[in-house]
Structure 1
């Protein structure tokens, strides 16, 4: 039995939370997929996932699965495109109207009110306002007091019309609902569904549509007021699919259990089991109570990249923009975690909800202890990778190298003291704490920022170099698991345009660095920030957008037959007609012209648009040459 008063998790004599629901996807027209089962822990159940993950199909499937739990009440599904019917009046929807027909807006006749609970658009909600005076009053009161609007229902010649007026203006007249802001229309419609006590289950696809964050927050509070067992007076089961953090509230394990994580309609959605021992951890429970906006954003992605602080986030975001890594579009999110001690618990949480978190950490994540990298070496995948390297156990592989590193730093510090004590870690060490930690951090950074030749020159150089090789193998191994350690120590050590400042000034330094790196050549940026870029590439796991690749096939398809038929007497007009006959409108992308140099005939190809980001034009191809080779060389493609 799970109890959470804030989320309406309670027991009722006719409905006991949690209970299972098998979602009938076949009834929604989806075949060949096993119907998933989800557990309902309370009044609000939320579906999260990227576009195309199947959230809408799951909501629709619930329409056919919940009748046994509603005690005769209605099921109402509200679509994400609920304002669709109003576009006939709010826009020149087919380019033939001249201007919108605002004042002609109508929303069905009397017969439509009988279908109001089945209607998935705003037409059903406006019909409810016309049929239920009590619901209308509740909506009106909130619009008047909070938004200085009044909503008026009118029947004109048997057609339903909705008007608004401004209550803060004494001379305000009624105006057509088609002239009202989209956000207020969405809000009025959803509130009507929420307050309708004939509805025992409400399914809302993307409640955040057109609502600014404050309106979203208000709507969530209204949702929470009516969410619960539908056998309780004024309560209903509510299911939402959302892309907004404003509709996510995770202050407890039971609230987290009410989130259904979707990846693909072909795969079963993921829910946590709040009774698992992992969720009894005080650290994890404490993390949930302070789950901030950034952490909530990571709930929407597949592979969050955890970093140590705002400076790391600033640099990573800039690199993503500079190099077009498209982290967010690829299902990742840069997530700063305050204090490296929080990494293990945050990683555990994200894994429990089906995410694959990656980590970008300072060198102290591997020099101080094995707590953080242990979260990766305990993965089953780690055992397989370690076996491929000839190690029986991943954790022992890491521990042996770590212990040997600690041993050499402890016993042979004097070998490298003069060089290592120049490092940031040593200069800014906490002199009131164990100096051995500072020595390990500085030694690690000295190893990875000193050439092998220079390492050989110090006392016991061969031993130090062997250790560097072994540490490198461990770091490469960890990167395959998603754990990336900054070989230079901290993010600031990579800066080229900003000095390392004090702790309080770190975000400022990162901002200055961003201004510089955005102006740098991309190849230089890749070289300087290679350690960080590897982590981001791991998370993005998508191919680089290259518009040259997108046009290559069409380009070759055009030039190959043009070259075959090209003669000295061929005119540019003939080339244009030839291309247009073969490729129609697509041929307008390129301009083909003939060029003669002595006895040699060439085809010149130019790009006819400024929209595509492609370099290498114009391209000159000699008749008889290999067009594939010439085009690839010009566009710098393999």
Structure 2
């Protein structure tokens, strides 16, 4: 089945460059736009509404906005704060006869319910689904020139009731079904089809969409474009389905869409990965920098640390993604980069000690050689290869130097006795080196060699972290446990859950100290500044305290301070209570925070008249 390709759309972006041309290719019946809020998906959809028209087989193009229930809010809610208990449920109406002429152009449910009034065949199709699946029936009628929509329950003896009393999800579903069943429409664009729909309803809607999606030249088929934040509307089983996803990053950059003919996407590994992609992998499609970890235990720990330390991983555009085994890292990293993501990896120590396959995914990055050069090395691949080879040779030749210490690590304790012990030695040796203090290194035979290789390994790890590759220096995630058994081989997710629960009661400084490698990986992936309400409030504190300090005297009253502050700053001044105090013949301005909403330590502030308020406020609020 052939579809139009290279549809060019012009989007008006609020920037100095003005109108920017962006291209979208339609490879199948359904094209899906993915991206964070503010990435330009809605603008792209609106531009597509015009650009896709020549490819809709001379049929209508229907655009359905995310706020499609908006016209009903005057009948469903206290929209102006003055309704009290007088919500106008029974007054809901969906336009008049004249509005039917514009039902395909109307971007709200008014257009879709207008269609139901004109098309009894579509109405019957929807009624059957509502009856059998949701025990509802829908009735369309004209009342005094206005379109009314009522529902009734078929599983009980109840009267008809106004559509404004029905669940939002059912209204959304009914309207969208009317649009996709409408054979007068050759292309339908739906912004956030998941609005108000629980996951099972989303899944049902997608299946109904798939039934009508196709070439508009065929009877009953239409092009469908979805803009969504829901994984339920993303199916990813093949390269062809991946090619129908458009990744939007922001309004100033071109959307990313892969060419399904690229050789990289025809590899067996990529094909196998796409065929088994699950819900967790689909979540990563919505973020900018997925944090790839080895398994469920790593995910549990990272999620707990992120929450405790308010690192806002997901909100900042990342997603913790378990790839189920380090062998999957290279193919997942490759796939994520091809679709425009910036993957970050947190791997066990064996991701470095066993071979260079995984870290080469990062040392081959364009910026890797520049970072290596700044560290005094010719290039990143040569640097990593030399360190790896020298480390391996030292362990293979001098294992006995460190065996009494390294053999205590879980890599050695739980080694596979039927496999090559060289691998277990390298793993255990690396982890012992990373945890060993200098005095301990001085006590082993060939101490200078071991100290030297540790220094070089640390340099290599530092370079890798700048590239987004984080190696757990103590081994596996279990090696960092403070409360659970570090040598556990069974029930790993249970042990991780226990550790994660304990983390919630720890001080952040203790978390930094005990789980530093993990914290650095999460911070790199989230790349978000810490939320600090002290910074947010600093300017207004300075604005209010500076004139207050200038006017205070031993006789200044709280009322005078309040009045002056109110005159200059209005309602913002109500955030603070100002007063004075005398101590050792010095007069101080006392500033109390008059809210429990803001989380700011350091109040009340006491600033001596004559002191620099900037220095004092920064000091008391722990700001520099």
Alpha-carbon distance in structure 1 between the residues aligned to 2:539 and 2:301: 37
Written as runs of structure 1 = structure 2, the 5 A alignment for 1:152-171 is: 152-169=139-156, 171=157
Q: Which residue of 2 aligns with 1:296?
A: 282
> Contact 1:500/1:509 (CA < 8 Å) preserved in 2?
no
Q: Report how far residue 162 of structure 1 moved.
A: 0.1
Q: Report how far residue 193 of structure 1 moved.
A: 0.1
> Contact 1:591/1:605 (CA < 8 Å) preserved in 2?
yes
Q: Which residue of 1 aligns with 2:165?
A: 179
Alpha-carbon distance in structure 1 between the residues aligned to 2:584 and 2:359: 68
Q: Report how far residue 622 of structure 1 moved.
A: 1.0
Superposed CA deviations along residues 475-514 of structure 1, whole A, max 9, x for unmatched, are 0000111000001011111111111353331111111111
Q: Which residue of 1 aligns with 2:602?
A: 616
Q: Which residue of 2 aligns with 1:316?
A: 302
Match of 1:120 among 107, 111, 116: 107
Superposed CA deviations along residues 389-420 of structure 1, whole A, max 9, x for unmatched, are 23223111111111111101111111011111
CA RMSD of aligned residues (A): 1.3
Written as runs of structure 1 = structure 2, the 5 A alignment for 1:84-483 is: 84-99=70-85, 100-169=87-156, 171-483=157-469
Alpha-carbon distance in structure 2 between the residues aligned to 1:18 and 1:122: 29
Query: CA 1:235 to 1:30, structure 2 compared with 1: closer, same or farther past 3 Å?
Result: farther
In the TM superposition, structure 1's runs of 4+ consecutive aligned residues that sit over 3 Å from their partners are 26-31, 501-504
Q: Secondary structure at the match of 2:501?
A: helix
Alpha-carbon distance in structure 1 between the residues aligned to 2:110 and 2:14: 22
Alpha-carbon distance in structure 2 between the residues aligned to 1:384 and 1:451: 31
> Contact 1:572/1:594 (CA < 8 Å) preserved in 2?
yes
Q: Secondary structure at the match of 1:335?
A: strand
Q: Which residue of 1 aligns with 2:472?
A: 486
Alpha-carbon distance in structure 1 between the residues aligned to 2:401 and 2:265: 47
Alpha-carbon distance in structure 1 between the residues aligned to 2:160 and 2:15: 43
Aligned residues: 623
Q: Secondary structure at the match of 1:36?
A: strand
> Contact 1:28/1:57 (CA < 8 Å) preserved in 2?
no
Q: Report how far residue 89 of structure 1 moved.
A: 0.4
> Contact 1:616/1:635 (CA < 8 Å) preserved in 2?
yes
Q: Which residue of 2 aligns with 1:7?
A: none
Superposed CA deviations along residues 274-331 of structure 1, whole A, max 9, x for unmatched, are 1111111111100000100000000000000000111111110011111110111110
Superposed CA deviations along residues 60-106 of structure 1, whole A, max 9, x for unmatched, are 00111122112220011000000000100000000112231100101
Alpha-carbon distance in structure 1 between the residues aligned to 2:432 and 2:361: 26
Structure 2: 5+ residue stretches without partners: none
**Structure-1-length-normalised TM-score:** 0.96
Q: Report how far residue 596 of structure 1 moved.
A: 1.6
Alpha-carbon distance in structure 2 between the residues aligned to 1:461 and 1:190: 72
Q: Which residue of 1 aligns with 2:41?
A: 55
Q: Secondary structure at the match of 2:517?
A: helix
Q: Report how far residue 29 of structure 1 moved.
A: 12
Superposed CA deviations along residues 244-294 of structure 1, whole A, max 9, x for unmatched, are 000000000000000000001110000111111111111110000010000
Alpha-carbon distance in structure 1 between the residues aligned to 2:166 and 2:239: 40
Q: Secondary structure at the match of 1:120?
A: coil
Written as runs of structure 1 = structure 2, the 5 A alignment for 1:466-545 is: 466-500=452-486, 502-545=488-531
Q: Which residue of 1 aligns with 2:59?
A: 73
Q: Secondary structure at the match of 1:23?
A: strand
> Contact 2:13/2:252 (CA < 8 Å) preserved in 1?
no
Alpha-carbon distance in structure 1 between the residues aligned to 2:489 and 2:293: 16
Query: CA 1:577 to 1:395, structure 2 compared with 1: closer, same or farther past 3 Å?
Result: same
Q: Report how far residue 173 of structure 1 moved.
A: 1.1
Query: CA 1:210 to 1:534, structure 2 compared with 1: closer, same or farther past 3 Å?
Result: same
When structure 1 is superposed on structure 2, of 419-428 and 19-28 the one drifting more is: 19-28
Q: Report how far residue 33 of structure 1 moved.
A: 3.4
Q: Secondary structure at the match of 2:568?
A: helix
Q: Which residue of 2 aligns with 1:597?
A: 583
> Contact 2:13/2:19 (CA < 8 Å) preserved in 1?
no
Structure 1: 5+ residue stretches without partners: 1-9, 11-15
**Structure-2-length-normalised TM-score:** 0.98
Q: Report how far residue 586 of structure 1 moved.
A: 0.3
Q: Report how far residue 631 of structure 1 moved.
A: 1.2
> Contact 2:13/2:20 (CA < 8 Å) preserved in 1?
no
